[in-house]
Amino acid sequence: MAGPGILSRWPTRATNRRTLRHFQATTSHFFTQSSQTQNHPAPTPLLNDPSGFGFIRSNPRTPKPRSAGVTEIRGPYYAAYGRHHLKDLLQTMGTHIDGLKFAGGSFNLFPEKELREMIDISHEGGVYVSTGGFVEHLLTHPDPLNVVDKYFRKCKDLGFDVVELSAGFLSFPPADWLRLIELVQSHGLKPKPELGIQFGAGGDTEASELKATGTSDPTKIISLGKQFIDAGVEKIMIESEGITENVTNWRTDVIQKILSDLPMEKLMFEAAEPKVFNWYVREFGVDINLFVDHSQIVQLTCLRTGIWGMADTFGRIASFRK
């Protein structure tokens, strides 16, 4: 059992306001701009180059760092890759990539030197780096207060900018979510809670099993989301399982309900496959924040810029801005 010395290190409600004010004062305005990312001029894509294909109509993208239309890509998880592939990704598509997430606990498998190199390469390309929801594993540890605190300290030391907070496999009280958020902020990191309606999400469970488990009401996401935003959270990840992944029929009603009560710029939606991000951009426009696999960045960006698409989006994605 945790002793009073350990408990005393957790931020209390009395310190929360001071922590939040300090956090807001010492971190950058945009979620996509950490204190470690570097503002090297990005190569101009041919589509934006007057001497290239700049004469072709396309939807202009807000330059990085972006607060809307954010694209976070998955790091090595379903496919292994290292710094060379990451350099290739950023040299060719870096203008369109805002964040890199090491899904789950995948970063634990890297030698420290190689992980630091990938994080540094991301920062050089103006890309923030996020953990996956690994904290979910740590919360079941016999000494979670110590272990979670040490985990956040090491994440900061390694150069991570964002810590994802997931509890898809756990029953977790709202007050404890807020304590985790406060602790992340106290380490100078940005918390990114992940919420969903499906208990057991995150393990690529079969649709039949998830259906048998059942889902929660979307008002739970909305209630927690409002509390998280009040606590200084800049982006909330919406888990796809139970909504558009591993389901017989998409729960678009859940997405519409969430977006009717929470600001779109505060949300990021996991889009596990092209037909899903195609639907999101079709329904909510180019400013929707999306998390996709690194292999899908080109296809998604073609869709956002309006230069390509599927049967229902080809030539139909537009914007009105300079």
Are the CB atoms for 35 and 28 separated by under 8 Å?
A: yes
State the average pLDDT for the chain. Answer: 89
Q: How far apart are CA 41 and CA 252, in angstroms?
A: 39
The pLDDT of residue 3: 40
Task: Tell me the range of 12-26, 161-175, 182-196, 207-221 where mean pLDDT is highest.
Answer: 182-196
Q: State the pLDDT confidence band at 201, using cuts at 50, 70 and 90.
A: low
The pLDDT of residue 11 is 52
- What domains appear along the chain, each with residue ranges and CATH number? 62-305 (3.20.20.70)
* DSSP element (H, E) containing 154: helix 144-158
Q: 240 and 194 in contact (C-beta within 8 Å)? A: no
Reported confidence tier of residue 214, pLDDT bands at 50, 70, 90: confident
- HSE at residue 308, side-chain half, CA atoms within 13 A, is 7
Q: Is the pLDDT of residue 119 over 50?
A: yes
Residue 68 pLDDT: 96
The helix/strand/coil state of 118 is helix
Residue with token string 């991570």: 160
Collapse the DSSP code of 194 into the 3-class scheme (helix H, G, I; strand E, B; otherwise coil) and give the result.
Answer: strand
The residue with tokens 């964002």 is 162
Which has more pLDDT, 212 or 141?
Answer: 141
What is the structure's pLDDT at 174? 95
| pLDDT single digits (tens) 266-280 | 999 999 899 999 999
Alpha carbon 239 to its chain centroid, in Å, reads 10
pLDDT in tens, 308-318: 999 999 999 99
Question: For residue 6, what pLDDT band results from cuts at 50, 70 and 90?
Answer: very low
Predicted confidence at residue 26, as pLDDT, reads 46
The pLDDT of residue 191 is 98
pLDDT band for position 5 (cuts 50, 70, 90)? very low
Please work out, in degrees rounded to the nearest 5, the angle formed at the alpha carbon of residue 181 by the alpha carbons of 180 and 187.
90
- Determine which of 10-14, 193-197, 245-249, 274-278 has the lowest per-residue pLDDT on average: 10-14
Angstrom distance (rounded) from CA 220 to CA 243: 14
In percent, how much of the chain has pLDDT > 70? 85
Q: What is the per-residue pLDDT for 212?
A: 73
CA-to-CA separations, 171 to 151, 193, 208, 214, 315, in angstroms, rounded: 21, 15, 21, 14, 45
CA distance 71 to 77: 17
- Output the six-digit token pair for 26: 């010492």
Q: Which of 121-125, 206-210, 214-218, 295-299 is the least confident region?
A: 206-210
32 Cβ contact partners less than 8 Å away, ≥ 6 residues apart: 64, 65, 66, 67, 70, 98, 99, 128
Average pLDDT over residues 140-146: 96
Mean pLDDT of 144-150: 98
Q: Which of 40-54, 134-148, 199-213 has the lowest mean pLDDT?
A: 199-213
The per-residue pLDDT for range 23-75, each reduced to its tens digit, is: 555 444 456 666 677 766 678 999 999 999 999 999 999 899 999 999 999 99
Q: List Cα–Cα distances, 315 to 62, 95, 96, 195, 301, in angstroms.
A: 20, 22, 20, 33, 14
Specify the range with the lowest mean pLDDT, choosing from 23-37, 122-136, 254-268. 23-37
The average pLDDT across 158-182 equals 94
Distance CA 99, CA 129 (A): 6
Residue 213's pLDDT is what? 77
Closest CA to 40 of 99, 119, 116, 122: 122
Q: Specify the residue for token string 């931020």.
A: 11
- Average pLDDT on 132-160 reads 97
Q: How far apart are CA 149 and CA 278, in angstroms?
A: 39
CA distance 112 to 25: 30
Say which residue, 21 or 302, is predicted with more confidence: 302
Question: Distance (Å, rounded) from C-alpha 153 to C-alpha 165?
Answer: 15
Ramachandran region of residue 204, left (φ > 0), alpha (ψ -120 to 50) or beta? left
